[in-house]
Chains A and B, each alone.
Chain A
Amino acid sequence: MNNETIGSRDMGRYLNARVRDIAPSGIRKFFDLVSGNKDIITLGVGEPDFSTPWHVREACVYSLERGQTRYTSNAGMPELREAIAEYLDRSFQIQYDPGKEMIVTVGGSEAIDLALRALVEPGDEILIPEPCYISYSPIVSIGGGVPVGIETFAKDGFKLTAESLQKAITPNSKVLILCYPSNPTGGIMTREDWLPIAKIIEENDLIVISDEIYAELTYDQKHVSFASLPGMKDRTILVSGFSKAFAMTGWRMGYVCAHEELTQAMLKIHQYTVMCAPVMGQVAALEALKHGLDEKDRMVESYNMRRRLVVKGFRDIGLDCHEPQGAFYAFPSIQSTGLTSEEFATRLLYEAKVAAVPGNVFGQGGEGFLRCSYATSVQQLTEAIERMGELVTKIRQER
């Protein structure tokens, strides 16, 4: 059969219906829009502006020179898992057995996929506080699960409240996905915020996937891991990784920790799909944990300074902006301009040459907001806010 005859047929009929029915991501649409534009300042980037610290890169180069190029054990190098266990204990007071309760994954993304594939059966309802990172809901759908968004609000600092969680629960509810510190809102949950949530989880016999990839990036207070709450360790699948804290996004190094039985189930999927995470990345991750903590602290302090700069900047140009307590995103409201998120983001791109992500792509509660990453230089941030200010003034004059 030649290409023409294949092309004339509906290839979609071969597709798994769940995959076919996933809507294209809104962020992708905006990416395409932005990519055609030159000389823009972008606040749309979901990754650190630092390169991976040199000592980490150098350790990887050295390992390649020594020919360290082979498979590791499925769950990851034992030294790395031990180092992760020690790090989690020291930083967040959670104890995992590196031998039985941990898998090193290809980024936090694979960890999320493993957790959902291991848990979700058709018809299961998966609770997802929104606005949130864009991957959860599609992965739930691929597994036949039903994503159930729970809207969070700026007035609450985008925290998940016990009332709204309670309201969303039905007999089909199985999993709650948490992502705090939050991408895109910068919201965090304190111990006090967590306790009533943990109670509901217990009462309704639910399980939690806690994506704590931004755990190191909190500013006025330390991150509280959901797994560290009383009685919650066995009910939590902890997802984290090296991307954000150690500026290692391109290495794709993540990990997942959970009760032994859950971990062994996820390991089955992991070993048949990826075998093991890339060895170069594992070597680098180990170096980051062994010698990179000071450098990490310096990066966090640098984000903190820029956080203050953008929050003040947005407020000064007349946009409401709740104070983000974690990650490296500010989530200002553009409702006062009378435009939708997409309208504002599009005008911002074409008229002010600044790219930011419209909040509506992050689900319920995101409309009316704009995700602005402050992981970019002080100079660029200052310039971007100035241009945004001019646009806001112009829009107000038009009305």
Chain B
Amino acid sequence: MKELSELSLNILTLLKEDARRSPELLATLLGVKEKEIRDAIAQMEEDNVIVKYATVVNWSKVDEDKVTALIEVQITPERERGFEGIAERIYLFPQVKSVYLMSGAYDLLVEVEGKNLREVANFVSDKLSPIESVLSTKTHFILKKYKQDGIIYEDHEDDHRLVISP
């Protein structure tokens, strides 16, 4: 694993806040040349440190049928490959949004998205549970998202400052 330079780290912090910030703006904010920013970003993209620039969407704001579940999955690790092979078999399904290997009472935490409850239930019974090394699943449906990846969905802390103060 590479050690990240301070500049790269600062760039990541700023892009995590807003991925649409231009190299020109980043250069001004960080007090370096634009080329340094472009080079650092290119390097991080090449190294897969920056994987993708995605948008955080608050789906509850729109009339869109969507349910999300977090599923605890217990599995038997495979000889030689451990958890990797099974994790891959699971994360390749497009309805699977994230997969984490966990310590503790279960092995994988799988986030699954579907149009409705039944669709997610079907995925669990038809696709996930039948996988040979899957021992058990426990499905939790998400009722509301308040904060994701450091971003608060509905921030109530408005700016109450006086317009002019000494």
- B-contacting residues of A (Cβ < 8 Å)? 25, 27, 30-31, 34-35, 40, 42, 44-47, 49, 51, 133-135, 183, 305-306, 308-309, 312, 355, 357, 378, 382
Q: Is B30 an interface residue (CB 8 A)?
A: yes
Chief secondary structure at chain B's binding surface: loop
The CA-CA distance from A30 to B164 in the complex, in Å, is 8
**What residues of chain A lie closer than 8 Å to B164, measured between beta carbons?**
27, 30-31, 34-35, 42, 44-45, 355, 357
How far apart are B23's CB and chain A's nearest CB, in angstroms?
14
**What residues of chain A lie closer than 8 Å to B14, measured between beta carbons?**
305
Complex interface residues of chain B between 134 and 166 (CB less than 8 A to chain A)? 157, 159, 161-166
Q: Are A34 and B29 in contact (CB under 8 A)?
A: no
In the complex, what residue of chain B is closest to A373 when comparing beta carbons?
B165
Q: Are B161 and A47 in contact (CB under 8 A)?
A: yes
Chief secondary structure at chain A's binding surface: mixed
Instruction: Find A378's partner among B29, B30, B162 (CB 8 Å cutoff).
Output: B29
The CA-CA distance from A326 to B130 in the complex, in Å, is 63
Q: Are A27 and B31 in contact (CB under 8 A)?
A: no
**What residues of chain A lie closer than 8 Å to B28, measured between beta carbons?**
308-309, 312
Instruction: Find A305's partner among B29, B161, B165 (CB 8 Å cutoff).
Output: B29
Q: List the 5 closest A-B pairs by CB distance, nearest first.
A: A44-B164, A305-B29, A31-B164, A46-B165, A42-B163
- A-contacting residues of B (Cβ < 8 Å)? 14, 25, 28-31, 157, 159, 161-166
How far apart are B122's CB and chain A's nearest CB, in angstroms?
41
Interchain pairs with CB closer than 8 A, number: 54
**What residues of chain B lie closer than 8 Å to A312, measured between beta carbons?**
28
The CA-CA distance from A283 to B162 in the complex, in Å, is 25
Q: Are B31 and A308 in contact (CB under 8 A)?
A: yes
The CA-CA distance from A296 to B28 in the complex, in Å, is 22
How far apart are A376's CB and chain B's nearest CB, in angstroms?
8
Q: Are B161 and A35 in contact (CB under 8 A)?
A: no
**What residues of chain A lie closer than 8 Å to B29, measured between beta carbons?**
305-306, 308-309, 378
| A51-B157, A305-B30, A308-B31 given; A45·B163 CB < 8 A | yes
Q: Are A44 and B31 in contact (CB under 8 A)?
A: no
**What residues of chain B lie closer than 8 Å to A306, measured between beta carbons?**
29
Q: Are B163 and A40 in contact (CB under 8 A)?
A: yes
In the complex, what residue of chain B is closest to A220 when comparing beta carbons?
B31
How far apart are A29's CB and chain B's nearest CB, in angstroms?
10
Q: Are B166 and A378 in contact (CB under 8 A)?
A: no
**What residues of chain A lie closer than 8 Å to B157, measured between beta carbons?**
51
Among A35, A135, A305, A355, residue most surrounded by chain B Cβ atoms (within 10 Å): A305
Q: Are B163 and A35 in contact (CB under 8 A)?
A: yes
Given contacts A34-B164, A312-B28, 10 further A-B contacts (CB under 8 A): A27-B165, A30-B164, A31-B164, A31-B165, A35-B164, A42-B163, A45-B164, A46-B165, A305-B29, A308-B30
**What residues of chain B lie closer than 8 Å to A357, measured between beta carbons?**
164
| A305-B29, A378-B25 given; A31·B161 CB < 8 A | no
**What residues of chain B lie closer than 8 Å to A34, measured between beta carbons?**
163-164
18 A-B pairs with C-beta separation under 8 A: A34-B164, A42-B164, A44-B163, A44-B164, A45-B161, A45-B164, A47-B165, A51-B157, A133-B166, A134-B166, A183-B166, A306-B29, A308-B29, A308-B30, A308-B31, A309-B29, A312-B28, A357-B164
Q: Are B165 and A44 in contact (CB under 8 A)?
A: yes
The CA-CA distance from A40 to B162 in the complex, in Å, is 12
How far apart are A143's CB and chain B's nearest CB, in angstroms?
20
Q: Are B166 and A135 in contact (CB under 8 A)?
A: yes
**What residues of chain A lie closer than 8 Å to B163, measured between beta carbons?**
31, 34-35, 40, 42, 44-45, 355
**What residues of chain A lie closer than 8 Å to B161, measured between beta carbons?**
42, 45, 47, 49
**What residues of chain B lie closer than 8 Å to A305, measured between beta carbons?**
14, 29-30
In the complex, what residue of chain B is closest to A310 when comparing beta carbons?
B28
The CA-CA distance from A31 to B161 in the complex, in Å, is 12
The CA-CA distance from A49 to B158 in the complex, in Å, is 10
